């Protein structure tokens, strides 16, 4: 047995009075050994992040505090040590990296200065030595041009580079423990794969124990030695990765694993003849305006969408996949003319909508509706759910009574209580709100549903429900769907056809099963290769 680094024994963390439960974390026990990766998995609100914070002594005091239990590191109990000792441990013995490297780094300080601080507050070294050490750290984490990055500010780096810098910072003093709180959740899939590899490499080199917090079983399959599954502040299951992923014993673990979208692409259904949406040569650029009086340089131009051809037939789902900045959301907005494209032709059914004015377009608007990513921001908080759903039809000339009747039916269809009609959006959970968003989109009886990352803000079990709902509705109403996603697992599950976008262009398009089995473009290949947990066959369970 390797050396035991950390043991959390019967730890309970108290939430402030008035929270929805008394304990954030209740009587949990976790052990971490040198060179080992323990994944703490759970959905939002399971208490996994607070567990991580507690190990660093970083609970948001005084409202959230340790009630009982101990966190033994070496021969000390972290919950009891003095503030000075705790400060000494942080960053040198136990380090942490975070989910969003943009906000986790100070925006007005250079990367070099932020690394330098660690040395200044933990060891005595000359400024020259510190600078040299910082530079070698940046080299270690495979950053390109480290001499330049050391003087760069966080906003000048890409997401992956920022996370690499965070890792360099965290590993500066060769800590015994690295706590990683969803470190790859905000990153693109290819970057995620690189960062996971980097963490593994660094761990091997420094024999670090990694406590890895995540919600993604794909990541767990790739990186974990042991897994701890948390639900509502309690540990429901612990075991080796193999045990937990293949023979889970707890029903909650089973349901979580069952909810992971399988990487078995669906078979494309037979194609209908009717084309509901067609685009030809759609282009859209941003910026590039001239500057005032011709002084200064012209602004940078971003070609968000370049020469895109798509065709959507009745009843099918076309997935548009790509990483952030690939132009997939811009394409979706161009297609339904929320923004006007610079060039190209848009054909909606038999109508050419490219050049229609606002007034001419209005009767056609109802034929395409959109479901948005963020169920919190996309619903007006001051309008009742019933009105949100019925507003569209009323604007299109349906009378009040019929619209209300239809709204009640829609609430049934999306699986919400009829009493929701009188409530406000904030009274609902994320998944329920997404159902409201879907009901709103359906209220106009559209031919086409444009879904822009409709499940990426949701927990995996909720995600599965929403995907199922979308599929049911599509079949029931013979809808066509344009499905924008960054998640290839989701795309495999719901799409008949997939278009892969990279920097504004569609690099490959085809039937999902074919494209997954035999990707032709190098970029598609790299995307598929980067899917976390792709080699793992999660067992099927009945839930």
Binding test (CB under 8 A) with another protein, winner from 66, 150, 169, 500: 169
Query: Under DSSP, is residue 261 helix (H, G, I), strand (E, B) or coil?
Result: coil
The residue ranges of DSSP E strands in 410-531, in sequence order, are 448-452, 480-485, 497-502, 505-511
Dihedral Cα 133, 135, 141, 143, nearest 10 deg: 180
Subset of 3-62 contacting another protein (CB under 8 A):
56, 58
Subset of 294-333 contacting another protein (CB under 8 A):
295-297, 299
Site for another protein contains 105 (CB under 8 A) = yes
User: Considering the complex, what minimum distance in angstroms separates the CB of residue 115 from another protein?
Assistant: 9
Instruction: Point out which span in 137-145, 201-209, 288-296, 504-512 binds another protein (CB under 8 A).
Output: 288-296
Instruction: Point out which span in 239-247, 292-300, 315-323, 517-525 binds another protein (CB under 8 A).
Output: 292-300
Beta carbon nearer to another protein, 169 or 277 = 169
CA gap 460, 259 in Å, rounded: 6
3-state secondary structure 362-418: HHHHCCEEEECCCCCCCCCCCCCHHHHHHHHHHHCCCCHHHHHHHHHHHHHHCCCCH
Instruction: Provide the β-strand partners of residue 508.
Output: 500
User: Considering the complex, what minimum distance in angstroms separates the CB of residue 114 from another protein?
Assistant: 8
Site for another protein contains 90 (CB under 8 A) = yes
Beta carbon nearer to another protein, 122 or 423 = 122
CA gap 312, 450 in Å, rounded: 11
User: Considering the complex, what minimum distance in angstroms separates the CB of residue 317 from another protein?
Assistant: 37
User: Considering the complex, what minimum distance in angstroms separates the CB of residue 285 from another protein?
Assistant: 18
User: Considering the complex, what minimum distance in angstroms separates the CB of residue 213 from another protein?
Assistant: 14
Tell me the two tokens of residue 144.
Answer: 């390109």
Cα end-to-end span (Å), the chain: 36
Our CA angle for 205, 211, 215, nearest 5°, is 125
Q: For residues 64 and 24, is the Cβ–Cβ distance under 8 A?
A: yes
Beta carbon nearer to another protein, 87 or 366 = 87
Beta carbon nearer to another protein, 122 or 242 = 122
Site for another protein contains 100 (CB under 8 A) = yes
Instruction: Provide the β-strand partners of residue 301.
Output: 287
Site for another protein contains 95 (CB under 8 A) = yes
Binding test (CB under 8 A) with another protein, winner from 15, 78, 118, 305: 118
Binding test (CB under 8 A) with another protein, winner from 23, 73, 98, 212: 98
Distance of CA 459 to the CA centre of its chain: 10
CA gap 482, 492 in Å, rounded: 14
355 exposure class (CB count in 10 Å sphere: 0-12, 13-18, 19+): exposed
Binding test (CB under 8 A) with another protein, winner from 24, 40, 89, 509: 89
Beta carbon nearer to another protein, 107 or 397 = 107
Binding test (CB under 8 A) with another protein, winner from 18, 107, 144, 397: 107
Residues in contact with another protein by CB under 8 A are 56, 58, 87-92, 95-96, 98, 100, 103-109, 117-118, 121-122, 153, 155, 166, 169, 291-293, 295-297, 299
């Amino acid at each position: 047995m390797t050396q035991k680094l950390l043991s959390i024994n019967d730890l309970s963390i108290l939430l402030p009075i008035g929270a929805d439960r008394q304990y954030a974390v209740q009587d949990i026990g976790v052990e971490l050994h040198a060179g080992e990766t323990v994944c703490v998995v759970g959905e939002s609100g399971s208490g996994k992040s607070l567990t991580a914070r507690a190990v660093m002594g970083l609970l948001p005091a005084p409202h959230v505090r340790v009630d009982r239990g101990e966190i033994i590191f070496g021969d000390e109990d972290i919950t009891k040590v003095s503030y000075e000792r705790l400060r000494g441990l942080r960053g040198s013995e136990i380090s942490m990296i975070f989910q969003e490297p943009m906000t986790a780094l100070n925006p007005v300080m250079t990367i070099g200065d932020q690394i330098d601080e660690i040395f200044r507050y933990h060891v005595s070294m000359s400024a020259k030595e510190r600078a040299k050490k910082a530079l070698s750290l940046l080299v270690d984490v495979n950053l390109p041009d480290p001499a330049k990055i050391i003087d760069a500010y966080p906003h000048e780096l890409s997401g992956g580079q920022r996370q690499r810098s965070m890792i360099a910072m965290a590993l500066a003093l060769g800590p015994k423990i690295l706590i990683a709180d969803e470190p790859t959740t905000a990153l693109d899939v290819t970057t995620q794969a690189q960062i996971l590899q980097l963490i593994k490499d660094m761990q091997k080199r420094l024999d670090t124990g990694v406590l890895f917090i995540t919600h993604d079983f794909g990541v767990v399959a790739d990186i974990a030695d042991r897994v701890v599954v948390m639900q509502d502040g309690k540990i429901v299951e612990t075991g080796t990765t193999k045990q937990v992923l293949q023979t889970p014993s707890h029903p909650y673990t089973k349901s979580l694993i069952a909810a992971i979208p399988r990487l078995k692409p669906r078979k494309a259904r037979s194609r209908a003849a009717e084309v509901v949406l067609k685009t030809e040569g759609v282009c859209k650029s941003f910026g590039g305006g001239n500057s005032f009086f011709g002084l200064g340089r012209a602004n940078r131009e971003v070609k968000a969408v370049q020469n895109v051809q798509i065709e959507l037939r009745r009843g099918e789902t076309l997935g548009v996949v790509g990483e952030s900045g690939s132009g997939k959301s811009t394409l979706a907005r161009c297609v339904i003319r929320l923004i006007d494209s610079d060039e190209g032709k848009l054909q909606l059914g038999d109508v050419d909508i490219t050049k229609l004015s606002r007034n001419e377009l209005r009767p056609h608007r109802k034929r395409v509706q959109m479901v948005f990513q963020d169920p919190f921001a996309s619903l007006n908080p001051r309008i009742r759910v019933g009105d949100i759903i019925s507003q569209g039809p009323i604007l299109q000339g349906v009378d009040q009574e019929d619209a209300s009747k239809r709204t009640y039916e829609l609430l049934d269809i999306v699986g919400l209580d009829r009493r929701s009609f009188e409530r406000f959006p904030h009274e609902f959970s994320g998944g329920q709100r997404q159902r409201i968003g879907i009901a709103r989109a359906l209220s106009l009886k559209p031919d086409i549903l444009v879904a822009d990352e409709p499940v990426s803000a949701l927990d995996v079990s909720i995600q599965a429900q929403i995907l199922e709902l979308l599929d049911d509705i599509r079949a029931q109403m013979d809808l066509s769907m344009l499905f924008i996603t960054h998640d290839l697992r989701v795309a495999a599950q719901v799409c008949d056809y997939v278009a892969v976008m990279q920097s504004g262009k569609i690099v490959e398009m085809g039937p999902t099963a074919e494209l997954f089995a035999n990707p032709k473009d190098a970029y598609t290949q790299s995307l598929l290769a980067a899917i976390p947990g792709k080699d793992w066959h999660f067992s099927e369970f009945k839930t």
